[in-house]
Structure 1
Amino acid sequence: MQRSPKTRAVGFTRILNFFTTLQTTGPKPTQSNLLKTSCVDQDNEVVPFNNRSLTETSNAYASLLRRCIERKSVSEIRRIQLHMTKSGFPHLSLGNKLIDAYLKCESIEDARKLFDEMPQRHIVTWNSMIASYIRHKRSQEALKLYQMMLPEGVLPDEFTFSSIFKVFSDLRLLPEGRKAHGLLVVSGLEVSNLFVGSALVDMYAKLGKLRDARLVVDRVMEKDVVLVTALIVGYTQHGKDGEALEVFRNLVKEGIKANEFTFASILIACGNLEELGKGKLIHGLIIKSGFESVVASQTSLLTMYSKCGLIDDSLKVFDRFVNANQVMWTAVIVGLVQNGREELALSIFRRMIRSSINPNSFTLSATLRACSSLAMFEQGKQIHGRVMKAGLDKDRFAGAALIDMYGKCGNIEMARSVFDALVEIDVVPVNSMIYSYAQSGYGHEALKLFNRMRDMGLEPNDATFVSVLAACSNAGLIEEGLNIFSSIRSNPTIDLSRDHYACVVDMLGRAGRLKEAEILINQVKKPDVVLWRTLLSACRIHGEVEMAKRVMNGALELEPGDEGTHVLLSNLYASTGNWTQVIKMKSTMREMRLKKNPAMTWVDVDRGVHTFMAGDWSHPRSGEIYEMLDSLIEKIKDLGYVPDTRFVLQDLDEKEKERSLYYHSEKLAITFALLSNSNKNTCIRIFKNLRVCGDCHTWIKFVSKVARREIIARDAKRFHHFRDGLCSCGDYW
């Protein structure tokens, strides 16, 4: 007759209590009188040892230990071990079972103490201890235990190697990993054991030794999906996506069925390569294999579609999944931000919060990037609050995103505050801080942080140099910038990119050193259209028409249909009053079907983004906006504002020229912000997709004085901080 769980539990407690009574009141038997002590029978009844053999006693203790494991009771295991010791039972004979019980109850310290007391330890016990250390992320202790094996005459087996290779990859110990590989080969286990082979491939792949990983795979005669997937994952993690696709093709040819991890990894490769056709074929294989509803496959599918620019297909995959987890929510938000759908990304983020899914550092970083792109300062501050609530304010990824967000919203003080609060600083948050300084024209502060990097134990990378050169360019620190550029050129370990050259061309061009800028471009082996366009912009600033024609030819040779080049030259002709050439340029653009990007400005008011274009009447409060704008213009005219009509077509009369300037998009956005919020302590932040025009720059300076408001304008190049009639750029932009 079977006993109920309750009855069995009562019996188990009676046994332990009986043991405790023996330990405290009974005699202390030795090995010689062991069999006169007590034990338990199969019905949980306490019986004397003199009715049992040593083997039966051992089995009884083993049975008790199994029940302790079921109950996850470390204290009861300790009581049993103590009873064994005090009763004189040779408890070390059950050492493996005791250690196994402790480990299964997550008491690794008790297990290790007993392990060290054992005079002889079976290989299974060594493996259990090593695997447990790895499971608890204590790789150093696992390594020390492995290093004790050979001196004690214990030869590692396949289970040892499959565990210890993970330790070598975690600790980045390639030489030790190679030695273990050599021992593995001597043991004859490498080819014959797929489990070990997969661990070895995984180690080499994680350490970036993909050639070694591939050689291991090639030596295995009968491959399985785990082995091949380990190689595919290694290739995708190190940017070898083409090789990953090749391995996958071979897997299919050999008739090995891919699993969910194989599909997830190969979809990542397709996304990175923007191989939409192959990605769709693999999508079909996923459906055929029955993995369409698996989370890993779904996440990789939506990531693949978003990386290929099919964000709507990515959203369809996401919407089909009923119970999306944190990883899926994050993947779709990241995809939206990467595809310029920031407003939708923020909307999805709000849905995620309402669904009670906690964001991680990657989710928050992506959402902060969305706020950065839209210059949504208030929403960015709210997400900062969530970062702090989640305890991620010290996280370097979230920290770098916060610095970037505050920097791109023009709040350098908050960006620096976040930077100073970071515990672990690497090159990413430093670059974000330098770039924030660069955009707002704080060149000296950017240089100071750049010069501190080596004291912080950090080496500048390509992005660092681009940021600091941009800072020098925006602040007019020409000689400092040229010295940095010279140091980069003389360093053989650094590959100069077109971005580095573009910063220096911009720096020289703004300073009027156009000839030097042109010579520098000609030193580039393959200059791109951006370099020529940068110099063309400088020609427009300084009215250098002849050089501009030469520069335009260089740009159009590379990209005949580049509308940016045509627009810049048209603006140059306009600035010099050559309206005949302006009309010809516009006619040429119409014939080539080139379109100038319309100027747009947006402003974040009351947690909503409001977008304006020149002469825009689509806003529901347009009547109030235009009325207030006309009033502002009258006030600032009294202070000396004179509309700059140089950039307006000459076939208009003077009044029409002025009115065409009055209703530029940035003027409408600022007026709406003033209309919506009269609090003089609130800063107005606007963002424009193109550069602020000269007339608007002057207009905003006057408005900041009349309205007594700080206005921060971020255009396509940099920030302008307007306060009390002055701009932070010092009119150098």
Structure 2
Amino acid sequence: MQRSPNKGAFGLTRFWNFFVNINVEASSQLSPYGLAVTTPHFDRDAYVSLLRQCVEGKCIAQIRNVHLHMIKSGFPLLSLGNKLVDAYLKCGGLDDARRLFDEMPQRHIVTWNSIISAYIRQRRSTEAVMLYERMLVDGVIADEFTYSSVFRAFSDLGLLREGRKAHGRLVVLGLEASNVYVGSALVDMYAKFGKLRDAHLVSERVLEKDVVLLTALIVGYTQNGGDAKALDVFASMVKDGIKPNEFTFASILIACGNLEDVQRGKSIHCHVIKSGFEDKVSSQTSLVAMYSKCGLIDDSLKVFDRSINANQVTWTAQIAGLVQNGREESALLMLRQMLRSSTNPNAFTLSTALRACSSLAMFEQGKQVHSLVMKSGLDTDRFTVAALVDMYGKCGCVETARLVFDGLVELDVVVVNSMIYSFAQGGYGHEALKLFDRMPDLGLHPNDVTYVNALSACSNSGLLEEGHRIFSSIHSNPRIELSIDHYTSMVDLLGRAGRLEEAEKLIMQVKNPDVVLWRTLLSACRIHGEAEMARRAANCVLELDPGDEGTHVLLSNIYASAGNWSEVVKMKSTMRELRLKKNPAMSWVVANEEVHTFMAGDWSHPRSMEIYAMIEEVMVKIKVMGYVPDTRFVLQDLAENEKEKSLSHHSEKLAIAFALLSSSNGKTCIRIFKNLRVCGDCHTWIKFVSRIVGREIIARDAKRFHHFKDGFCSCGDYW
């Protein structure tokens, strides 16, 4: 239905026809002064109707024309200035609104609030705070709407002191306890600053609490490690009859996931269903994350499969959940499904996918994700680049990792740590230390992880003196406190270098040595055949964790190597009594984008006959070249012929034999991976194999990378 013209003015249609054709720029040149132009007269109601039409049509150009017409006709802006500002804001013309605002001789508090709020919505918090401060200087008394907006600006800019001052003014005005909107904004601000005690006190003082205020408090707790308190707030909220909304459920499910409280999580899931929020994307995303963090990945997938409109965050949560639960291949398949659904990955999605590639050292898939990073324009995102450096490093491609690293314009501690770690794992100890020593020149301060990685680089390359220097420098760094991880890295360095007594004395300096620290010394004792110290270290491990099967196995092997068979029998008897089983050694190789896993003596692979035949063929060739099986690395109670047979069926040998069979290109690099330390015999065997097949073989074990080429290893037989 068409609106009729107002009395005292000619009709709207006629007016549009008049001023639409005015050829004057109505932008920053507008001024209420000095324009004396004869134009048709309009009354206030006509202008109000025109502005309403402009807002309905979201046409800022027409608002500018109305504004210009008001100026030319001499219509007093004081009468309609606030409405004109409001019209500009509703059509996205914040800068136009601000210019008009600055020219107005008088401004209503609503107009101040509208512009401050608009600045905050557009993430222009600095301008919002400046306008708020000007408001105070002009003697305008801020109201509850001002404060409910400006507190968000303070938190965006990290202005805690200013936020507290505004809180003080709020208390003087008596608005803190009486207005739930202001209370919610205050709680949100203090929560974002990590001041949960203040947030809690504010919430307690608000007389009539609502779901927004309590949800802000719950979010604050979950984001600052107070998940148990978040659950308490939620329980109190339900008890008081305040109905949670979808954001409440999303936050409290995150708390359940962080606490791995699956029972409470399932209970809240039922509550979500009863409240009708299960189809909400925020609830689905939080349910996916909660079940994943609780280790119930299949339940997480069921929730995801029921999602109707999964968005970028939901897809990313599910991919991250799969990686957290050791389903890296499934995570990469889901990334493909995400792309096919036309949902673009973000930096966290791709960083998580790269972590999946790193975990299984899936080099080809990692390169594909790298291409996605480039296409998405995320090759400058620091977390994504750090994940790229980490992925290439864990795939043994240190040079490629270095190329990615060198391409960065700005460096931070995260990406530098990743590069030092890559150098360390690849045996590039000197390069790792050069980068470590460059950090002050780059304006970066080493953190805990930096020192651990640098010490690991020293350990893998036998740089004892440099390791001592770095360990000592931690004492002089006021930012860092020596942790168990630092001691463990130093004990590993000393142990590999044969400085076992020094390593044991260092452990004695630690207030509460943990299992990992003693087990590190035990592993060093195994390398150097130190049975007595190994017994002491093993006893310390078993005091802390009697069911540690790895320690029993290590000590048994040390006794066997020393020929102490009575102790070997005792250890095996103890393991039987405790029902302990040895953690099986596993090796794997990626072929045709599929991971093939092998265990010692494994016949489960479809091509087992060919694999064992390949091993026999290789054995004949390398024995001619001088290879002699080192039977110290098998159980000593076997017959001699059985020892050699057992050696030839180690998991890494099976993986390499399969890689030789399945490689279409006889010149490509072979990459294999093992969950435990590669044994001495396999290390020697792989050196011979690399020579006879003329191919580089890269093996990553639990400690580091070994690059075998032409009969030599990059570790120099030190590992």
Residues 292-691 of structure 1 mapped to structure 2, 5 A cutoff: 292-491=278-477, 493-691=479-677
**Contact 2:690-2:697 at 8 Å conserved across structures:** yes
Structure 1 residue 599, shift from structure 2 partner? 1.3
The residue aligned with 1:209 is: 195
Q: Distance in 2 between matches of 1:312 and 1:468?
A: 39
Does 1:285 find its partner at 2:271?
yes
* Offset, 1:459: 2.3
Please, which of 226, 240, 254 is the counterpart of residue 212 of structure 2?
Answer: 226
The answer (yes or no) to whether the contact 2:38–2:72 under 8 Å persists in 1 is no
TM-score by length of 1: 0.92
Q: Is the 8 A contact 2:35 2:72 kept in 1?
A: no
Q: Does 1:15 align with 2:15?
A: yes
| SS in structure 2 at match of 1:94 | helix
Which segment is superposed worse, 499-508 or 411-420?
411-420
Q: Is the 8 A contact 2:109 2:140 kept in 1?
A: yes
* Range moving further from structure 2, 487-496 or 173-182: 487-496
Cα deviation, 1:257-283, whole Å, max 9, x if unaligned, reads 221111211111121112222222222
Letter in 2 for 1:618: S
Query: Which moved further from structure 2: 154-163 or 15-24?
Result: 15-24
Provide the secondary structure at the position in 2 that maps to 1:712.
strand
Amino acid in structure 1 at the alignment position of 2:455: L
- Tell me the secondary structure at the aligned position of residue 243 of structure 1: helix
**8 Å contact kept, 1:34–1:89:** no
Instruction: Name the SS of the counterpart of 1:455 in structure 2.
Output: coil
| 3-state DSSP of counterpart to 1:525 | coil
The one-letter amino acid paired with 2:208 is E
* Distance apart, 1:95 and its partner CA: 1.8
1:410-455 deviation line (CA, Å, top 9, x unaligned): 1112212222333443322222111111211222222222222233
Percent identity reads 72
- Rounded to whole Å, the distance in 2 between the matches of 1:497 and 1:177 is 37
CA distance in 2, matches of 1:143, 1:457: 31
Taking a change above 3 Å as real, the CA distance of residues 78 and 3 of structure 1, as seen in their structure-2 partners, is closer
Match of 1:7 in 2: none
What CA deviation, in whole Å up to 9, does each residue of 1:374-408 have, x standing for no partner?
A: 11000011011111111111111211211111111
Higher mean C-alpha displacement, 112-121 vs 489-498: 489-498
Give the count of matched residue pairs.
706
Correspondence 1:88 to 2:74: yes
Cα distance in 2, alignment partners of residues 425 and 646 from structure 1: 47
Q: Quickly say closer, same or farther: Cα 1:34–1:492, change in 2 above 3 A.
A: closer
Specify the code of the residue in structure 1 equivalent to 2:500.
Answer: L
2:243 is aligned to 257
| Pair 1:35–1:380, CA change in 2 (3 A) | closer
Structure 1, unmatched stretches of 5+, are 5-10, 25-29, 39-48, 50-55
Stretch deviating more after TM superposition (57-66 or 570-579): 570-579
- Tell me, yes or no, if the aligned pair for 2:633 and 2:681 is still in contact at 8 Å: no
Q: CA separation of 1:33/1:491 partners in 2, compared to 1, >3 Å: closer, same or farther?
A: closer
CA deviation string 1:5-33 (max 9, x = no partner)? xxxxxx96753331256778xxxxx9999
Q: CA RMSD in A?
A: 2.3
Asked if structure 2 preserves the Cα contact closer than 8 Å seen for 1:23 and 1:83, the reply is: no
Equivalent residues of 1:687, 1:714 under 8 A apart: yes
Q: Is the 8 A contact 1:127 1:159 kept in 2?
A: yes
In the TM superposition, residue 154 of structure 1 has moved relative to its aligned partner by: 1.4
Task: Note the C-alpha offset of 1:331.
Answer: 0.9
Q: How far apart in 1 are the matches of 2:408 and 2:156?
A: 25
What secondary structure sits across from 2:43 in the alignment? Answer: helix
Q: Deviations over 1:135-180 (max 9, x none)?
A: 1111111121111111222121111111111111011011111111
Q: List alignment gaps of at least 5 residues for structure 2.
A: 5-10, 25-31
Residue in 1 aligned with 2:681? 695
Whether contact under 8 Å (1:23, 1:86) holds in the other structure is: no
Give the 3-state SS of the residue equivalent to 1:155 in structure 2: coil
Query: Normalization by structure 2: what TM-score?
Result: 0.94
Q: Is the 8 A contact 1:375 1:409 kept in 2?
A: yes
Q: 1:336 & 1:141 partners in 2: Cα distance?
A: 43
The residue type paired with residue 160 of structure 1 is: T
Write the letter of the residue equivalent to 2:45. Answer: N
CA-to-partner distance for each residue in 1:220-268, whole Å, 9 max, x for gaps?
A: 1211111111111111111111221222222223222221111211111
What is the aligned partner in structure 2 of residue 44 from structure 1? none
Shift of 1:525: 1.6
Residue 232 of structure 1 aligns to a residue whose secondary structure is: helix
**Once the 2 structures are TM-superposed, how far is the Cα of residue 341 of structure 1 from its aligned partner?**
1.7
Give a deviation string over 1:521-579, Cα, whole Å, max 9, x none.
12212111211111111111111111111221111111111101111112212333444
SS of 1:456's equivalent?
Answer: coil
CA contact (8 A) 2:423 2:457 kept: yes
